[in-house]
A and B are shown apart, each in its own frame.
Chain A
Amino acid sequence: MADLSVNFAGIRAPNPFWVASGPPSNTAYQTHRAFEAGWGGLIWKTIGTPIVNVSSRYSALDIGGQRMVGFNNIELISDRSPEVNFQEIAEVKKRWPNHAVIASLMCESREQWHEFIRRSEDAGADGIELNYGCPHGMCERGMGSAVGQQPLVAERITGWVMEVAKIPVIVKLTPNITDITAAARAAKRAGANAISLINTINSITNVNLDTFASEPSVRGMSSHGGYCGPAVKPIALNMVQSCAADPEVRMPISGIGGISNWRDAAEFMAFGAGTVQVCTAIMHHGFRIVDDMIEGLNSYLDEKKMCSVDDLCGRAVANVTTWEKLDLNFRQVARVNHDTCIGCNLCYIACEDGAHQCIDLLNPDSLGLDLGPGRVPHKHVPKVREDDCVGCNLCTLVCPVDRCITMVEVPTGKPPMTWVEYQAKVASGEMKPLPPHH
């Protein structure tokens, strides 16, 4: 069994699976349930000057009958008083001394930041997370993403925090920004101990075509919300990797965004996340999902002969580079396994209409394939014209059968050549420009 315990920027926890700041981390009651279920840490729902919420707060994107592929909310930070929140943090810490409890804060002035940091520390919080991300409600009052979107402002406020903080400080980044590393660097310059990302993305999930109201609908009106859930994972991974790869950032990262299972979590870790935070998946299925996350990560680490999360952390970061450094002389083609092909022809129509027209539907008799795929005798068979195939992957992506279409490397016999090298060779006359579909 691998050791799942973590020391994240000085915060210790029995495992890297933390409950993200949000509805599931609102109260001591929920926190007890979370820790009983096995979560290693929890970021308290953001504490600040209490707000008032609207009724009707969440909406979701369902795709193909699958619920909550994406999730949207217009709920604000904690509506409970700081007194109650800090008192409950203290209660939780007394009962769970080895679990990480982090106070998420959102304040309006330097004085309030200082006061809330002190009160967090007095309550026994293991760390502080600065909420610079909330894209709705709070930003209109000069907080949340209004801070996170301006690196200089974020840096200044983080500076105020660092003046007094004795416990580790995590800056939570908003993805609603052109270059995430600018925000990460600002946190670094201000002396923060870690970053967490991503917060939610600006969103409107839908329009009701009968009422023309959007959801969540508050008496027929809606507001721009924050988007999260499985659909945002690729966006989050991109930003986490960008921060992890940036030499000017180099600080612990807590990964957030669409994590629903151990595999998602492991991917964030491979891109440099030391811990991961989960909210939407808990809102969907409850705290119990952590059981599988712990088991799954453990099995994976054992299988890969890794002893701890540290062994996994960052393993994939260097395998993402800029496009211009990719090898133009690498070539792969698609190959259809006719024994497992079920004859749906999705590869054919995708290639024909959506890509590069290099799959033919051929009579199975002409290919010596007996009856052909599927259950209608002698129905036509998709076959890739490998000379024309550009190796784009589309057919493998649409194929509904596992490993039926595989991409096979075709040795070109040529040494690797990047775009930069190619440009230089063409400029010097060493080679002619490559034809399309080379």
Chain B
Amino acid sequence: MADIQLPMRQMEARVEANRCLYCFDAPCIHACPTGIDVPAFIRKIAGGNEIGAAKTILEANILGASCARICPTKVLCEGACVLHDRDEKPIEIGRLQRHATDFVNDRGIHVLKPPAKMNGKRVAVVGSGPAGLGCAAELAQLGYQVTIFEKSKLPGGLNTYGIAYYKLKPQLSLNEAELVKDLGVEIRCGVEVGRDISGEELQRDFHAVFLGLGLGDGNRLGIDGENLPECLDALDFIEQIHTDPLHEIPVGHQVVVIGGGNTAIDAATQSVRLGAKQVTMVYRRGESQMSAYPFEFEKAKHDSVHFLFDSMPISVIEVDGHVVGIRLARTRMTADRKLEMIPGSEFTHECDMILKAVGQEKQAEIMRGIFPKIAVGPGGVITRDQMSGATNLPDIFVGGDCANGGREVVNAVGEGKKAAHGIHAFLAGERASLPIQPSRLGVDGSASGCGLHNPIRAHELEAQWEADRSAKNSGAHRG
């Protein structure tokens, strides 16, 4: 399955890097949840210093290689690029980041080294997904002895098991886990906290614990026939692509994907690539309410995926224990903005495979099982301090999807990193100064802060674009 985004050739990268204005205190840094010093690494590429560029990237974001491929750059760093306002194409930051990180990966160059001196403190990290790796890498660089506990056979979490194959190959995610190991971190796979080791034991053996469990299994539809063999969870389906030979993965001729998020899109586009004749996405609301990014939606349309908006599943139709279709109904919004089924609107859609992508379970119960006294907030996420990841228990910190309810990989890395600094503040009693970024050297501390401290959320940028657009349309001036 070919990469959807091609790597850059050397000359292409040079030319693109030279387009970068090398902004001071650049907006792209602010827009990156891990605060990568984007202008600094791009300038290094422009001058032929790819190794230095990779170091700048990986010091800030240990998952720099995978984020280069899967970040929604259009609404993060590239969305913030000042060139938009000069009516030019923004710098292709994601592809340049891939260029630099590929350069060192392909050559086996290690740009990060473990610190010369350890501080003697031990931290346990639960979960080896983006949040856990982000936290562990940062702690290791601060001199902590870190042990990661991972219940799966392989490290990497979502990046290893749950991303569309044409965006990110699992091997790359495993390489990133190796990078973390190179920093002196121990990763114990196949060890489930709460089963193989208790929360109490963690608290006894380690000075602090970081929880980065991610989300649980896919949510159920709660309809008849959901347990048929051809009715799968979309994430399980994507996982198969990562773990099984492609030619052995069963895919239907007529696939129905339930859901309107980015995972639903991944499942749909992957089905097309695996040979499905017709793929239909069923979403209970309208196009504008889809949580998938517009550019992901475009990708699906480009793959000839059909869309049934304002429709919901009623039941799965089975013949001899196999899926042959799905019963759907039209939906509408009531006066008090609730979604309801339109009576008598039921219809049947033929299909031989159904992929469910309607969100994942929160891990609150599991975490309460590990640490009974941990406070859980509304929506089933752990209550925590946004800046430090601190929970109500002094030695327990949290970050990533299990704390934010499910966001981008890069958000998880950023939160892991923030929690590492929270842990450092807790254990060392001091606030570690983040590595100085050359592109911000000398910025007044009261300035708006780098991405790490003040990450711009995609929706904030999007809201601003909307405002910009309407301002432009009305002929009004910004500023």
Binding site for B on A (CB under 8 A): 64-65, 338-339, 341-346, 348-349, 352-353, 361, 364, 369-380, 400-401
A-chain residues with CB within 8 Å of residue B24 when the two chains form the complex: 344-346, 348-349
Q: Is the CB of A376 within 8 A of B447?
A: no
Q: Which of B86, B464, B479 contacts A400 (CB 8 A)?
A: B86
Q: Looking across the interface, which residue of chain B has its beta carbon closest to that of A350?
A: B24
Q: Does B447 lie within 8 Å of A361, measured CB to CB?
A: yes
Interface size class of B (residues with CB under 8 A): 35 or more
Which applies to chain A's interface (DSSP): helix, strand, loop or mixed? loop
3 closest A-B pairs by beta carbon, nearest first, are A349-B24, A345-B24, A344-B23
- Chain A residue at minimal CB-CB distance from B451: A376
Hey, which chain B residues are within 8 Å of A380, CB to CB? Answer: 25, 447-448
Since A65-B18, A339-B477, A344-B23 are in contact, a sample of 5 more A-B pairs with Cβ atoms closer than 8 Å, ordered by chain A residue number, is A339-B479, A345-B23, A376-B31, A376-B80, A378-B448
A59 to chain B, nearest CB (A): 18
Tell me if A344 and B477 are in contact (CB < 8 A): no
Chain B residues within an 8 Å CB radius of A64: 18, 46
What are 6 of the A-B contact pairs (CB < 8 Å)? A344-B24, A370-B478, A375-B27, A375-B79, A376-B27, A380-B448
Q: Assess whether B442 is in contact with A352, with CB atoms less than 8 Å apart.
A: yes
In-complex Cβ contact of A346 among B23, B46, B83, B85 (8 A): B23
> Which chain B residues lie closer than 8 Å to A400 at the CB level?
21, 86
Interface: B295 (CB within 8 A): no
- Is B460 in contact with chain A by the CB < 8 A criterion? yes
User: Which of A344, A372, A373 meets B21, CB within 8 Å?
Assistant: A344
Q: How many A-B residue pairs have CB under 8 A?
A: 86
Chain A residues whose CB sits within 8 angstroms of the CB of B83 once the complex forms: 342
On chain B, the residues within 8 Å of A352 by CB distance are 442
Residues on A with C-beta less than 8 A from B444 are 361
Q: How far is the CB of B35 from chain A (nearest CB, A)?
A: 13
Greatest chain A CB density within 10 A among B81, B85, B460, B468 is at: B85
Q: Which of B24-56 contact A (CB under 8 A)?
A: 24-27, 30-31, 46
Query: Is residue B84 within 8 Å, beta carbon to beta carbon, of the partner chain?
Result: yes
Interface centre among B22, B27, B46, B447 (most CB of A within 10 A): B27
- Chain A residues with CB under 8 Å of B479's CB are 338-339, 341, 364, 369-373
**CA A401 – CA B26 in complex, angstroms?**
16
Q: Most chain-A Cβ atoms within 10 A of its Cβ — which of B24, B30, B461?
A: B24
Looking at B460, B464, B467, B479, the one whose CB has the most chain A CB atoms below 10 A away is B479
Determine the chain B residues whose CB is within 8 A of the CB of A371 once the complex forms.
464, 467, 478-479
- Chain B residues with CB under 8 Å of A346's CB are 21-24
B82 interfacial contact with A, CB 8 Å: yes
Binding site for A on B (CB under 8 A): 14-15, 18, 21-27, 30-31, 46, 79-86, 442-444, 447-448, 456, 460-461, 464-465, 467-468, 477-479
A376 neighbours in B (Cβ, 8 Å): 27, 30-31, 80, 448, 456, 461
The residue in chain B whose Cβ has the minimal distance to the Cβ of A348 is B24
Is A374 a contact of B14 with CB atoms below 8 Å? no
Determine if A344 and B442 form an interchain contact, defined as CB atoms under 8 angstroms apart. no
B27 & A343 in contact (Cβ 8 Å cutoff): yes
Among A364, A376, A401: residue with most chain B CB under 10 A: A376
Q: Which residues of A contact B21 (CB under 8 A)?
A: 344, 346, 400
Q: Enumerate chain A residues within 8 angstroms of B25, measured Cβ to Cβ.
A: 345, 361, 380
Interface centre among A342, A364, A372, A373 (most CB of B within 10 A): A342
Residue of A nearest to B23 (CB): A344
Residues of B within 8 A of A348 (CB): 24
Are the C-beta atoms of A342 and B460 separated by less than 8 Å? no
Q: Are A379 and B478 in contact (CB under 8 A)?
A: no
Which of A352, A353, A361, A374 has the largest count of B CB atoms less than 10 A from its CB? A374
B318 to chain A, nearest CB (A): 51
Residues of A within 8 A of B468 (CB): 375
Q: Which of B79, B82, B460, B467 contacts A343 (CB 8 A)?
A: B82
B464 touches A343 (CB 8 A): no
CB pair B15–A374 under 8 Å, yes or no, is no
* Bound complex: CA A215 to CA B112 (Å): 36
Q: How far is the CA of A361 from the CA of B448 in the complex (A)?
A: 10
Least CB separation from A353: chain B residue? B442
Contact A342 B86, beta carbon cutoff 8 Å = yes
- Bound CA–CA A343/B81 (angstroms): 9
Judge whether B84 and A379 touch: CB under 8 Å: no
Question: Contacts A345-B25, A379-B27 hold; do A374 and B448 have CB atoms under 8 A apart?
Answer: no
Give Cα A64–Cα B85 distance, bound, in whole angstroms.
22
* B30 CB contact (under 8 Å) in A349, A370, A379, A401: A379
Smallest CB separation, A367 vs chain B (Å): 9
Contact yes or no, A342 B82, CB < 8 A: yes
For B443, list chain A residues within 8 Å (CB): 361
Residue of A nearest to B39 (CB): A344
A370: B residues at CB distance < 8 A: 478-479
Identity of the chain A residue whose Cβ is nearest the Cβ of B46 in the assembled complex: A64
Contact B461 A375 (CB under 8 A): yes
Known contacts A64-B18, A343-B23; decide if A374 and B85 are in contact (CB<8 Å): yes
What residue of chain B has the Cβ atom nearest to residue A363's Cβ? B448
Q: How far is the CA of A370 from the CA of B477 in the complex (A)?
A: 11
Nearest CB to that of A404 among chain B residues? B86
> What is the minimal beta-carbon distance from A60 to any residue of chain B, in angstroms?
16
Chain A contacts for B81, CB-based, 8 A:
375
Output the least CB separation between A396 and chain B (Å): 15
Nearest neighbor of B465 in chain A, beta-carbon distance = A375
How far apart are B445's CB and chain A's nearest CB, in angstroms? Answer: 12
B80 to chain A, nearest CB (A): 5
Smallest distance from the beta carbon of B23 to chain A beta carbons, Å? 4
Contacts of A379 in B (CB 8 A): 27, 30, 448
Which residue of chain A has its CB nearest to the CB of B447? A380
Contacts of B448 in A (CB 8 A): 376, 378-380
Of the candidates B14, B26, B460, which one forms a contact with A344 in the assembled complex, judged by CB atoms under 8 Å apart? Answer: B26
